[in-house]
Chains A and B, each alone.
Chain A
Amino acid sequence: MHVDELIKNAKFIATPGKGILAADESTGTIGKRLASINVENIESNRQALRELLFTSPSALSYLSGVILFEETLYQKTSDGKPFVDVLQENDVVPGIKVDKGTVDIAGTNGETTTQGFDSLGARCAQFYKAGARFAKWRSVLKIGPDEPSELSIQQNAQGLARYAIICQENGLVPIVEPEILTDGGHDIKKCAAATETVLAAVYKALNDHHVLLEGTLLKPNMVTPGSDSPKVRIEFNDPAEVIAEYTVTALRRTVPPAVPGIVFLSGGQSEEEATLNLSAMNKLEVLKPWTLSFSFGRALQQSTLKTWAGKKENVEKAQAVFLARCKANSEATLGKYGGGAGGDLAAQSLYEKGYKY
């Protein structure tokens, strides 16, 4: 097995000052993004967007990894250079989304499990050959009066563990992503409780399945109030600090130190919120035996996308916006983000109720 390589790659991805760009939107999902800027969802436009991102001057220095969708893994720049090579030459590890979306669990109130196991081993082996060195699989849970149910927690935890061990057997570092949606009117304490319960179940499942924790990464939600509840009261505290405290406490209670890095998802947070929260976490003076970084999709690309609007003449400007967001998040991983990068555009909430990839 690829033990040493997995450990080395996981550790590298967790390098302080760097993080992950999640550019693995499926064809359907990227279609929605392109639609929002009136751009046609065709292969050449998808290729153009990713080329814009990956060739942004200096942006790659703030990234340790990029998650790709399968189509993108095999795409090239307009000069004919494979994206994978562009990334590798800039010390960015290519990753690949390997799940096949969620399906409802019968008898539950809209809870889901994730599919993608069929031939997963063979697919991982192919992706490894194509240059991928880590994978991502998104499990989704929700908070409600009876949710997340024990069934949903068990199913998703087991699924993540199976996916993880299959990845490791084939040389890919598995990013373990148990996303608890922000949807709902619950307060931050409810989110904390759910997050701790889910993460405990996930790590028990990983242990049961003999997953090598040193060769994994975790991609959790931050602990926040629900989308329909009042934002964290400002009064005396910095809301980011409150989110940081609850999040780091939940992680300290459940994530074994053997895990080298935690790369947060941004959920529906605006670009600026996500960065401020991440920075607050890294500023927190408490023992954190894993690095805390980002694996942002929307929260890294949103304003870049708007600036580009599909037009060649906007590429340079869009790349500058992208670079600024990457730099801001890099500073956040060091607890040094001062705020304000990207202005109004970056402060826009990206929340969508019942968000489906």
Chain B
Amino acid sequence: MSCYRGKYADELIKNAAYIGSPGKGILAADESTGTIGKRFESIKVENTESNRRALRELLFTTPNVLQFLSGVIFFEETLYQKTASGKLFVDVLKEGGVLPGIKVDKGTIELAGTNGETTTQGLDDLAKRCQQYYTAGARFAKWRAVLKIGPNEPSQLAINENANGLARYAIICQENGLVPIVEPEILVDGSHDINRCADVTERVLAACYKALNDHKVLLEGTLLKPNMVTPGSEAKKVAPEVIAEHTVRALQRTMPAAVPAVVFLSGGQSEEEATVNLNAMNQLKTKKPWSLTFSYGRALQQSTLKAWAGKTENVKKAQDNFHGRCKANSEATLGTYKGGAASGDGASESLHVKDYKY
């Protein structure tokens, strides 16, 4: 057979296409307990379950925000949490036409003999876990593979390992009713120019799609979550149009039209940068047979987090800010963003953390 078409095939195709709906994108709210702890530290909030729950409730119950979202990625704990009035977050989303998603990887570990390159773990019992998540309401999954650019990186080993891992994860998800978001993030760390990033991105994506084909993944039921093509964090910045051209070109050279949508990660970009770059891509007049939208974590939450600062009296202010960012990104998917949205404190703040670990 060509690709695998199991009992969930039609549902996978429908859900993947829905996530790529014009005007919508994904909120990546899947920070692990450790990672969300770092965020809380920055606003002096204690890392307790109730605070984690409170933050997510703030986001998901922001009035009129769900219209801008087609999906939200959860961390496992959050999948089972409820609002203060006792409604499951999953139900809040479903009622708002938003698909719940779930982070299923178990973080990265180093590849021996390389210069700090990693592979991602989480394949053990993945099928069983996916089934459980499906029962709990999840309809898509996310798995983050990480690569870096250096004098000898990414190595062929790192590319092969990560591509293969993504493909195994993807087919297991599809066997169990979850649309796999394929995320081969190439870190922005380094002083390389945009052409180097383009080169590496094209090589990595080509390897990913070859692996997906080898593993018989149904491309129409997947999404891609790549980095944008940009200069390294220590290199000179370029205009959004330049980022847009290089990024879309890399996708044109590697991503088959069968994939319905690209949901970009924001990496270390500021909220505003991430929105403006996405907007530039959607304004580009060139062949784009897939939707280009967002799957932002930090770039959707940073200024909202600061506005909240853990205090109940700040919730409305924080929610207004969050609404503004979501609306801005929604416009960016249509190429109609005019700039200057909800710039609460921190919308222009770079969110780059060297050698960022989730």
Contacts and interface: CB of A to CB of B under 8 A. Distances in A.
Are these two chains actual partners, yes or no? yes
Interface of A: 189, 192-193, 196-197, 200-201, 203-204, 207-208, 213-214, 249-250, 252-258, 287-289
B253 A254 contact: no
Contacts of B257: 252, 255, 257, 287-289
Interface in B242-279: 249, 251-258
A258 B206 contact: no
Given A193-B1, A196-B2, A200-B209, A213 B253 contact: yes
A207 B254 contact: yes
Contacts of B289: 257, 287, 289
Sorted nearest first, the 4 A-B pairs with minimum C-beta distance are A200-B213, A207-B206, A204-B210, A193-B2
B213 A258 contact: no
Contacts of B3: 196, 253
Contacts of A252: 256-258
A253 B256 contact: yes
B147 interface: no
B259 to A, nearest CB: 9
A257 B210 contact: no
Interface of B: 1-3, 202-203, 206-207, 209-210, 213-214, 219-220, 249, 251-258, 287-289
A257 B213 contact: no
A196 B203 contact: no
B256 A254 contact: yes
B206 A204 contact: yes
A197 to B, nearest CB: 7
A254 B249 CA distance: 16
A203 B256 CA distance: 10
Contacts of A256: 252-256
Contacts of A255: 256-257
A287 B206 CA distance: 21
Nearest to B1: A193
Contacts of A287: 257, 289
Given A254-B213, A254-B256, 9 more contacts: A193-B2, A197-B213, A204-B209, A253-B3, A253-B213, A253-B220, A255-B256, A257-B289, A287-B289
B256 A207 contact: no
Nearest to A249: B258
Contacts of B202: 207
Contacts of A214: 253
15 contacts: A193-B1, A196-B2, A203-B206, A203-B210, A207-B202, A207-B254, A254-B256, A256-B252, A257-B255, A257-B288, A258-B249, A258-B287, A288-B257, A289-B252, A289-B289
Nearest to A207: B206
Given A253-B258, A256-B256, A288-B257, A189 B249 contact: no
Given A193-B1, A207-B203, A201 B210 contact: yes
Contacts of A249: 258
Nearest to B202: A207
A12 B106 CA distance: 49
A249 B3 CA distance: 11
Contacts of A201: 210
Contacts of A207: 202-203, 206, 253-254
Contacts of A253: 2-3, 213, 219-220, 256, 258
B252 A250 contact: no
A213 B253 CA distance: 7
A216 B255 CA distance: 16
A256 B258 CA distance: 10
Contact of A192 (B2, B203, B254): B2
A282 to B, nearest CB: 15
A250 B3 CA distance: 10
Contacts of B287: 257-258, 289
Contacts of B251: 257
A250 B2 contact: yes
A355 B300 CA distance: 60
A204 B203 CA distance: 9
A249 B179 CA distance: 19
B252 A258 contact: yes
A257 B252 contact: yes
A124 B287 CA distance: 31
A82 B253 CA distance: 38
Which interface residue of A193, A253, A255, A289 has the most chain B CB atoms within 10 A?
A: A253
A192 B216 CA distance: 13
Contacts of B258: 249, 252-253
Contacts of B210: 200-201, 203-204
